[in-house]
Chain A
């Protein structure tokens, strides 16, 4: 089964970002090749939902992070090779026989573009084959290693007899040799060449992620088999926030609904994003911004953090939220195990409605023991009711400490429900009421007030 997610989630978590801005994808995209970048995007588009596959990819990246090798190919070779391989026109085959003196002379003076392309392509692929051979023979790994399958596949392709002449060729290739290799590479063993390139692109991706993991000190998560319904995270933080404060959180079936409260600016949204990004990356088998992570594999992730309302369609924010909740409920009722995040549930309606709706929906979610939920709200009163009603709702909050008149945020999770209320303090800090009162006084003095 596929791991499911949707556009709202990708946007909330800033996975791909807008207009090539700062995104999670860009953190990891250090690929040397265009093909590598495409493979990386593919991985982001299709996270895994199988613990063996996740652990395998994770193991490979961990191995390369330990090995610390640079990408063993020149990245310009790939552009030439791809361009060359994309030309499947049989008529462009070089011919070894028809090598008249006239043609020789004209090709010395100015070879035509197509021939030149074939020359470049064959030379580039020859380089790549030789490089792959060196790479594979230098790779000291045992059978049973995570990368062993890939390595064996590469080795099998390289041992193809038709490639032997190419790998063993030395120096500048002659026209006759190029014509011969052209047929092998571009037509007879086209599939193998493509498979080899794809292996190299994956290698590029692994190396680029490994480098990012080492540089940023990311941890490699461990995927547990499906069905345990747990997440244990130590020191998770947001990879795009500078000097982010790490937090520990573990979600278990005994407390699979996290009820998060806290003042504005206390970091609720950021924490939810950090946790969700970690879950997303972990399901890709990628390293995560945390010290340690263990998680059981789920079927999908859905977040609702910055939900836009669609007033043009006549739907208010509240209705947009209701529809979103309904979508989640549908997915859940199909028996999927999901990771669901709601930031400020039902903020688009009046207080009493929001209070009742929050309780009703949270209770409904709490009945789904095999999924994990994080719900933040401003309606702290709803928390008290839920405490009585649902034993598997866990309450955590992000505190605000007052330093004189200024609120200070620790960004560290604590257990319980907060009753921090600093909204009025912020208003007083800005002196709004003072401004208005001073204005009225001035008016009274000037007797302008009584008109």
Chain B
């Protein structure tokens, strides 16, 4: 079963989007080959739900991060290799040689370009194979073993002789051409596939090294556990790290805090870390351990859908309903609700937040982070449920100017700086004149 994350969630967390600045995808998108890009796409679209598979992948990332190999291919040159190997050669050596000679003749007599192209593709491929050989030499990991085996094949023993060669004699070219595109066709496909994987693993582990990301350890779902000692948002430089842990006895985090105190960022950081961890990717969180979940739902910027006649409140209600349906079907979910029911009057929002949070919190196999402005609801929940953790992001006043330390504190906030901001802007004075 695949990991559930709907479009709204992906948008909220800013995960996908190749051309969107600051998306998590573009953060990791340092691949050099088209095939690598496809593979990265695939990983982003299909997070894993099997802890063994997740850990297997993250171990590979870890290995590459430690080894620090440089990926030797660039898109501009590797394209030739992909094109060359992508077009099939002739069926037998005689026809291949004849074809090569004919192209050579055409090239000499008619200024036809085919022979030159073929030569360029062939030499680029030979060079690529040699670079790959160099790249693989120090690596000792099961992932690349098939490639090392192929390159060690007797039929490719001539590779070393051709190192640094620019132009191949026609007969030799015909022989190599037939070998690479015909006899060893399947092997070459395997090599390409491994090159793509190397591309992704090296690109992602380089990002992880540069940004100081680390790797999460996946645990079986039964352990029902999440913990990290330092969680940050991957796209923010100098982000303040916060510890965060959830388990069956404290599966709901009730988050309060002033505006701009960093509630949404903390929630997004959590969502992104969970998602990346399920891909086996490096996360912007230290010492993270997590039980695999079946999916994640977030509701951070619920858009109004006035064209369909929905108000903001109704849009939120429908979203909550969707989540409720999935949670009640027995799935282990991660749920993030930011400022639940902000689109309604205060008393309604209070009642609704209380009722919905209490009902959700009974699902101890699911983890919830719920933020709200209705701090009164927190006090009531404290009486009703024993599995809710209360935390807030504080605001410190320095004279008249609010400062946000972005460090999570236990409890419910009593900060109210709204009026101070209004006074800072001197609005009432302006109106009094």
The residues of B that contact A319 with a CB separation of less than 8 Å are 259-260, 421
Q: Which of B310-336 contact A (CB under 8 A)?
A: 311-314, 317-318, 320-321, 324-325, 327-330
* B365 and A451 within 8 A (CB): yes
Q: Which of A124-132, A176-184, A435-443 contacts B (4 or more CB under 8 A)?
A: A435-443
Q: Tell me whether chain B's interface is mostly helix, strand or loop, or mixed.
A: helix
The residues of A that contact B347 with a CB separation of less than 8 Å are 421
The residues of B that contact A323 with a CB separation of less than 8 Å are 425
Q: Which of A65-73, A144-152, A190-198, A310-318 contacts B (4 or more CB under 8 A)?
A: A310-318
The residues of A that contact B363 with a CB separation of less than 8 Å are 436, 439-440
- The residue that A437 contacts in the complex, of B248, B359, B430, with Cβ under 8 A, is B359
* B311 and A348 within 8 A (CB): no
* B311 and A265 within 8 A (CB): yes
* B313 and A423 within 8 A (CB): yes
Known: A323-B425, A325-B427. A379 touches B346 (CB 8 A): yes
- The residue that B321 contacts in the complex, of A361, A424, A430, A451, with Cβ under 8 A, is A430
* A333 and B418 within 8 A (CB): no
Q: Which of A312-351 contact B (CB under 8 A)?
A: 314-319, 322-323, 325-326, 329-330, 332-333, 346-351
* B259 and A451 within 8 A (CB): no
Docked complex Cα distance between A360 and B416 (Å):
15
Q: Please count how many residues in chain B sit with their CB below 8 Å of the partner chain's CB atoms.
A: 61
The residues of B that contact A378 with a CB separation of less than 8 Å are 344-346, 349
The residues of A that contact B346 with a CB separation of less than 8 Å are 351, 378-381
B342 within 8 A of A: yes
Q: Which of B134-142, B208-216, B350-358 contacts A (4 or more CB under 8 A)?
A: B350-358
* B345 and A430 within 8 A (CB): no
B432 within 8 A of A: yes
A408 within 8 A of B: no
Q: Which of A26-34, A106-114, A228-236, A363-371 contacts B (4 or more CB under 8 A)?
A: A363-371
Docked complex Cα distance between A315 and B404 (Å):
13
The residues of B that contact A314 with a CB separation of less than 8 Å are 260
A residues whose Cβ falls under 8 Å from a Cβ of B = 263-265, 269, 306, 311, 314-319, 322-323, 325-326, 329-330, 332-333, 346-354, 356-357, 360-361, 364-365, 367-368, 378-381, 421-424, 426-427, 430-433, 435-440, 442-443, 448-449, 451
B3 within 8 A of A: no
Known: A423-B344, A436-B328, A436-B360. A330 touches B428 (CB 8 A): no
* A349 and B418 within 8 A (CB): yes
B residues whose Cβ falls under 8 Å from a Cβ of A = 222, 224, 248, 258-260, 264, 304, 306, 309, 311-314, 317-318, 320-321, 324-325, 327-330, 341-349, 351-352, 355-356, 359-360, 362-365, 373-376, 416-419, 421-422, 425-428, 430-433
- The residue that A352 contacts in the complex, of B328, B365, B416, B431, with Cβ under 8 A, is B416
Docked complex Cα distance between A346 and B373 (Å):
12
Known: A360-B419, A430-B318, A451-B224. A333 touches B325 (CB 8 A): no
* B427 and A322 within 8 A (CB): yes
Docked complex Cα distance between A435 and B321 (Å):
8
* B356 and A427 within 8 A (CB): yes
* B355 and A433 within 8 A (CB): yes
The residues of A that contact B324 with a CB separation of less than 8 Å are 432, 435-436
- The residue that A265 contacts in the complex, of B314, B330, B374, B375, with Cβ under 8 A, is B314
* Least CB distance, B119 to chain A, in whole angstroms: 51
* Least CB distance, A349 to chain B, in whole angstroms: 4
* A316 and B259 within 8 A (CB): yes
* B374 and A264 within 8 A (CB): no
18 A–B contacts from the bound complex (CB under 8 Å): A263-B344, A264-B314, A265-B311, A265-B313, A306-B304, A325-B422, A325-B425, A325-B427, A326-B427, A347-B342, A349-B259, A353-B416, A353-B418, A421-B347, A424-B348, A436-B324, A439-B327, A451-B222
Extra A-B contacts (11), CB below 8 Å, given A269-B306, A306-B304, A315-B260: A316-B259, A322-B425, A332-B430, A348-B259, A348-B342, A350-B416, A354-B418, A364-B431, A436-B362, A438-B328, A451-B224
